[in-house]
Structure formats: structure tokens, C-alpha cells
């Protein structure tokens, strides 16, 4: 008989705590995250995941689970390699064309004042964001760019901690970065997790022969780094707006080689 | 004593939350995840629902917002508390059978992963959420059966 009122009282306290969480949420929202930053800066020691711990987990994983898969994959890889070799001649011809295009891009990148920090993925959270090694200890800031091994921008930093950072990647739906092409047209590159959506925001010259869209100092980036390659992609122009959709082939893993770009 | 017990609940929740994140290392970022923390939330919500767990729900959410996400502070706490209250309420209203329980579990996974569903709504994402629910519900049942088994009674 007293069970139901007791349950209702439980709900009331739960609801009160939901309101308390809501109040904290509002305080953080109106302080532009200064509230949460202040607390996380002073309580960073509570973060339990270190590079050593990840390496330990990773090695356990390799030893126990991966052995069989590795052998099967290796077998498939060797078979594919024979087929791939036959295709190399055709690829070589295409690469010559690509080198020409890349040389054009490299001219725009000032490598002398840039330093690359190799980073490692530590953890993926439930919102599919990744925590990576490196934080205030290597002077990282919000919006610092993160490149993959091919030099393409695959993420940028959204939150910095003492020795780790949170990044927003091309496979997050919140990913949004401005870019520019070789004609000076400006774009906003966003993601729907499976594809990168490229939409122009300012047109300087209407030309659909866009090789790359890259970052630029005009958007407070430290230099020009490619975000997306449009050489073999379908680019459309409708109502004075250039747009394209590019499938995301890049996959993040613990073995991903990612580099944080910083100014010297 | 009660305070000590509540603090131990907070540590248990936080430990399972960290374990859930570390399990991502084994799955190599596969979409099909094992969610021990959600299993704990669900277990508490339907079997042990009480005010004693409110600090654990609240502080584990705060801890998660502090170190693992770019969310605004308090949003994850609200999510965990909402899961607790919604799951308990619906579970009480439904019949006690496997199908209803699975539906409630599916709902809890949907709330838990609501950013994943809302921001990239597609048939594939819904299928992934369903598969995550199946895998984790199976684990929940295993744990539930293990915890319910009365070893002393069986031996007699």
C-alpha cells in the first residue's frame, strides 16, 4: 500500500536532480563553457587513461584476439597483391597526373614554420568523438588541425586537457570547416558521417575544375592543408552555388597515424 | 554508513563507465559496442530503483562530461537520470515478459545513443542501434540470471 507513494517520491527526487543537471547545463551554456573548463582544468588528474594503459590494452588485444584475423588478412593481402601488381601500370599513369596537381598544392604550403606532433587515439566516447594524446603539455589549442598520413585534414581539436584532447573528426556530424580552392572560392565542408558535403559560401570565379579544397589563413588556420580532393568527383553548379558530395573512405583506428599541426 | 555506500556506488558507476570506454579499444571502433555501463543503468532502473543511486547517476554523468566529451556540463547526468526514470516507469507499466523487457532495453539504448540516431538518422544507424540492443540485452540477461541464481538453495 505504501509502495506507490514511495516510488512517486523516488521519481520526484530523480526529477529534481534532472532539473539540477539542467541548471548546471544552463550555467555552462551561458558562461560559454568557462564553467566546465575551469572544473576540468583543476580536476584533470582524475582522467585515468594514459598512453601506457592504452598500449597495454592494445597489446593484449593483439595477442589474444588478432592472431587468427591477422593470418587470414595476410593471406588475402598476398593474393590481392598479385592482382594489384598488374594494375600498377595504369595507376602509375594516373599518379603522374596527380603529382602535377599536388605540386601545385605544395607551392601553397609553407612547411618551414610548421611542426607536426604525432598523436595517438586513446578512446572513443559514446558520441563517436575521439580522445587523442597531447594537450596543454604540447601547447595545443582549440581548432588546431589534425592531418592523416596523406596530409589531409581529418579532424580539428574541440577541447584541450592537460595531456589529452578531444577532436571532432570527418565522421562526426558536427564536423564543419571552411575551405578555399585554387580560384579563391570559399566553401563550407560538413559531414553526415558517411559523406563530406561541400557547399560554396563565396564565389570568386565560377570554375568546376577544382582539384583540392584546402584550409587557409583567412579562416585562422595556420596554413593551407588539403581537406578534400575533388579531382575525380562530380561537382555541380546550380543557382551560383558550387556543391559536391564526397564519400568518406578514411577509417579511424588505434593504429591511425594522425598529426597535429602547430606553428613553430 | 549510508554515505559510504552511496560513494561506493559512485565509484562503481564511474569504473564501469571507464571500462565501457576502454572496451572500445578491443572492438577497434566497430559500430557494434558492448555497453556495460548501460547494462548497469538498466539493471538498476528495473531491479534496484531507489534514491540511493541518484548521486551515482548524477556524478558519473558529470565525470563523463568533464573528461570525455565536448557536451555542455550536466547534459549527460540529465540523460542518465532520464534513462533511470523512464525505464523504471515504462517497465512497471508493461507486462513482465521477454519481449516487453527487450523493447524497454531498446528504448534505453535509443536514449543512450540519441545523438547517434538524431544527427545521422538512417536505416543503417537504426539497424546498428537494434543490433547493439540485441547484443547488450543478451549480456544483461546473462548477468541477471547469474545475479538471481541462489547458489545455496540449488546445492540443497
Interval A150-159 mean pLDDT? 89
Structural domain including B127 reads 2-148
* Residue B102 confidence (pLDDT): 92
* Residue B104 confidence (pLDDT): 92
3-state secondary structure of B81: helix
Which of A6, A19, A21, A165 is best to mutate for the B interface (most B CBs within 10 A)?
Answer: A21
B154 part of a folded domain = no
B71 CB-near residues (< 8 Å, 6+ apart):
A127, B65
Of A6-10, B58-62, B134-138, the least confident: A6-10
Check which CATH number belongs to the domain holding B108 and give it. Answer: 1.10.1760
* Residue B156 confidence (pLDDT): 46
pLDDT at residue B153 above 60? no
B84 part of a folded domain = yes
B155 part of a folded domain = no
According to DSSP, the residues that pair with A206 across neighbouring strands are none
B103 part of a folded domain = yes
- How many domains, in total, are found in chain B? 1
Which of B14, B55, B73 is best to mutate for the A interface (most A CBs within 10 A)?
Answer: B73
Decide which of A96 and A10 is more confident: A96
Scanning every residue of chain B, which has its alpha carbon at the shortest distance from the alpha carbon of A38? B66
B106 part of a folded domain = yes
Q: Which long-range contacts (CB under 8 A, 24 or more apart) does B14-22 make?
A: B14/B59, B14/B60, B14/B63, B16/B40, B17/B60, B17/B63, B17/B64, B18/A48, B18/A49, B20/A126, B21/A49, B21/A123, B21/A124, B21/A125, B21/B68, B22/A49, B22/A53, B22/A57, B22/A123
Q: In this structure, are residues A195 and A204 in contact, taking their beta carbons and an 8 Å threshold? A: no
Interval A149-158 mean pLDDT? 89
Which one-letter DSSP state was computed for residue A65?
I
pLDDT at residue B86 above 50? yes
**pLDDT, tens digit, 9 for 90 and up, residues A1-31:** 455 555 566 788 888 888 898 888 888 888 8
Q: In chain A, what residues touch B72 (CB-CB under 8 Å)?
A: 25, 28-29, 33, 36
Q: In this structure, are residues A201 and A186 in contact, taking their beta carbons and an 8 Å threshold? A: yes
* Residue B150 confidence (pLDDT): 56
* Residue A155 confidence (pLDDT): 92
* Residue A250 confidence (pLDDT): 84
B48 part of a folded domain = yes
Tracing cell 591477422 back to the chain, one arrives at A70
Interval B115-128 mean pLDDT? 80
Local confidence band at A137 (pLDDT 50, 70, 90 cut-offs)? confident
Decide which of A17 and A101 is more confident: A17
Q: B67 vs A161: CB contact, 8 Å cut-off?
A: yes
Local confidence band at A95 (pLDDT 50, 70, 90 cut-offs)? confident
pLDDT at residue B134 above 90? yes
For A139-203, the DSSP string reads: T--TT-EEE-TTS-EEEEEEEE-SSEEEEEETTSTT-EEEEE-TTS-EEEEEE-SSEEEEEEEE-
Local confidence band at A73 (pLDDT 50, 70, 90 cut-offs)? confident
Q: Does B97 touch chain A (CB under 8 A)?
A: no
Local confidence band at A94 (pLDDT 50, 70, 90 cut-offs)? confident
Of A46-60, A182-196, A201-215, B28-42, the least confident: A46-60
Scanning every residue of chain B, which has its alpha carbon at the shortest distance from the alpha carbon of A255? B28
B82 part of a folded domain = yes
Nearest to B106 by CA among B132, B81, B86, B77: B132
Interval A53-80 mean pLDDT? 68
Local confidence band at B151 (pLDDT 50, 70, 90 cut-offs)? low
A195 CB-near residues (< 8 Å, 6+ apart):
A245, A246, A247, A248
Q: What is the share, in percent, of chain B residues with pLDDT greater than 70? A: 90
Of A36-40, A117-121, B60-64, the least confident: A36-40
B153 part of a folded domain = no
Q: What is the share, in percent, of chain A residues with pLDDT greater than 90? A: 6
Q: Is A126 exposed, middle or buried (0-12, 13-18, 19+ CB in 10 A)?
A: buried
Interval B77-85 mean pLDDT? 92
Interface predicted TM-score of the whole assembly (ipTM), two decimals: 0.80
* Residue A219 confidence (pLDDT): 87
Nearest chain A Cα distance for residue B97, angstroms: 22
Q: A14 vs B81: CB contact, 8 Å cut-off?
A: yes
Q: Which long-range contacts (CB under 8 A, 24 or more apart) does A45-50 make?
A: A46/B63, A46/B66, A46/B67, A47/A161, A47/A162, A47/A164, A47/B67, A48/B18, A49/A122, A49/A123, A49/A131, A49/A164, A49/B18, A49/B21, A49/B22, A50/A163
pTM listed for this prediction? 0.72
Q: A124 vs B74: CB contact, 8 Å cut-off?
A: no
- A17 vs B58, B92, B112: nearest CB: B58
Distance (Å) of CA A144 to CA A9, A135, A262? 48, 11, 7
User: Mean pLDDT across chain B, nearest whole number?
Assistant: 84
Question: What is the number of alpha carbons within 13 Å of residue A94 lying toward its C-beta?
Answer: 7
Decide which of A73 and A178 is more confident: A178
Q: B25 vs A65: CB contact, 8 Å cut-off?
A: no
Alpha helix positions (H), B28-121: 36-47, 54-67, 75-93, 98-112, 114-119
Decide which of B56 and B117 is more confident: B56
Tracing cell 539497424 back to the chain, one arrives at B127
Amino acid at each position: 500500500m505504501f509502495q506507490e507513494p514511495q516510488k512517486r517520491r523516488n521519481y520526484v527526487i530523480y526529477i529534481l536532480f534532472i532539473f539540477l543537471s539542467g541548471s548546471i547545463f544552463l550555467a555552462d551554456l551561458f558562461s560559454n563553457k568557462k564553467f566546465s573548463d575551469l572544473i576540468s582544468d583543476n580536476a584533470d588528474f582524475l582522467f585515468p587513461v594514459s598512453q601506457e594503459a592504452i598500449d597495454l590494452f592494445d597489446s593484449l588485444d593483439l595477442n589474444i584476439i588478432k592472431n587468427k584475423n591477422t593470418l587470414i588478412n595476410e593471406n588475402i593481402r598476398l593474393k590481392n597483391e598479385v592482382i594489384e601488381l598488374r594494375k600498377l601500370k595504369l595507376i602509375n599513369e594516373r599518379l603522374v597526373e596527380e603529382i602535377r596537381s599536388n605540386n601545385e598544392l605544395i607551392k601553397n604550403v609553407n612547411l618551414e614554420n610548421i611542426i607536426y606532433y604525432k598523436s595517438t587515439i586513446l578512446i572513443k566516447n559514446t558520441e563517436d568523438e575521439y580522445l587523442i594524446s597531447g594537450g596543454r603539455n604540447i601547447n595545443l589549442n582549440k581548432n588546431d588541425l589534425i592531418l592523416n598520413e596523406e596530409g589531409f585534414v581529418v579532424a580539428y581539436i574541440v577541447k584541450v586537457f592537460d595531456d589529452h584532447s578531444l577532436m571532432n573528426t570527418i565522421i562526426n556530424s558536427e564536423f564543419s570547416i571552411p575551405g578555399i580552392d585554387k580560384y579563391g572560392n570559399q566553401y563550407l565542408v560538413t559531414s553526415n558521417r558517411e559523406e563530406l558535403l561541400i557547399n560554396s559560401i563565396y564565389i570568386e570565379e565560377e570554375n568546376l575544375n577544382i582539384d583540392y579544397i584546402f584550409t587557409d589563413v583567412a579562416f585562422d588556420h595556420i596554413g593551407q592543408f588539403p581537406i578534400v580532393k575533388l579531382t575525380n568527383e562530380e561537382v555541380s553548379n546550380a543557382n551560383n552555388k558550387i556543391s559536391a558530395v564526397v564519400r568518406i573512405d578514411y577509417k579511424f583506428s588505434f593504429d591511425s597515424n594522425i598529426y597535429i599541426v602547430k606553428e613553430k | 554508513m549510508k554515505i559510504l555506500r552511496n560513494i561506493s556506488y559512485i565509484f562503481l558507476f564511474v569504473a564501469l563507465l571507464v571500462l565501457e570506454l576502454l572496451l572500445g579499444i578491443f572492438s577497434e571502433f566497430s559500430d557494434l559496442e558492448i555497453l556495460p555501463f548501460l547494462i548497469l543503468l538498466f539493471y538498476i532502473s528495473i531491479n534496484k530503483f531507489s534514491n540511493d543511486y541518484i548521486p551515482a547517476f548524477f556524478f558519473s554523468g558529470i565525470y563523463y562530461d568533464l573528461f570525455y566529451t565536448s557536451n555542455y556540463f550536466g547534459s549527460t547526468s540529465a540523460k542518465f537520470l532520464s534513462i533511470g526514470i523512464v525505464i523504471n516507469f515504462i517497465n512497471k507499466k508493461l507486462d513482465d515478459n521477454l519481449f516487453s523487457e527487450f523493447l524497454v532495453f531498446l528504448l534505453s539504448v535509443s536514449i543512450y545513443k540519441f545523438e547517434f540516431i538524431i544527427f545521422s538518422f538512417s536505416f543503417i544507424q537504426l539497424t546498428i542501434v537494434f543490433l547493439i540492443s540485441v547484443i547488450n540485452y543478451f549480456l544483461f540477461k546473462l548477468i541477471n540470471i547469474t545475479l538471481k541464481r541462489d547458489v545455496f538453495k540449488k546445492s540443497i
